[in-house]
């Protein structure tokens, strides 16, 4: 069985996974992420998407750290 069709390049969208991840943390974080994505993503060109996903990753780390601090209080 080949894994070729599991993640086709044209439908693979890391933002989907980020939104699921944010939804599991906090609904507000998910809304912020989706609004940000809808405004910024269409404006940037293809080669900048890689940088965009790296920034989203760091944003998710910061958000996770903040939510952990809020839970510990």
Q: Is the pLDDT of residue 35 over 50?
A: yes
Highest-confidence segment of 3-12, 20-29, 58-67: 58-67
Q: How far apart are CA 7 and CA 31, in angstroms?
A: 25
Q: What percent of the chain has pLDDT over 70?
A: 22
Q: Is the pLDDT of residue 58 over 70?
A: yes
For tokens 């900048």, the residue is: 48
Answering whether pTM is above 0.85, one says no
Q: Which stretches within 1-73 are classed as H helix?
A: 14-25, 27-40, 49-72
């Amino acid at each position: 069985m080949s894994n070729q069709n599991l993640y086709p390049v044209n439908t693979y969208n890391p933002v989907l996974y980020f939104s699921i991840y944010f939804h599991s943390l906090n609904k507000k974080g998910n809304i912020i992420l989706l609004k940000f994505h809808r405004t910024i993503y269409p404006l940037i060109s293809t080669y900048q998407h890689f940088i965009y996903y790296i920034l989203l990753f760091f944003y998710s780390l910061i958000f996770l750290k903040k939510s952990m601090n809020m839970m510990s209080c």
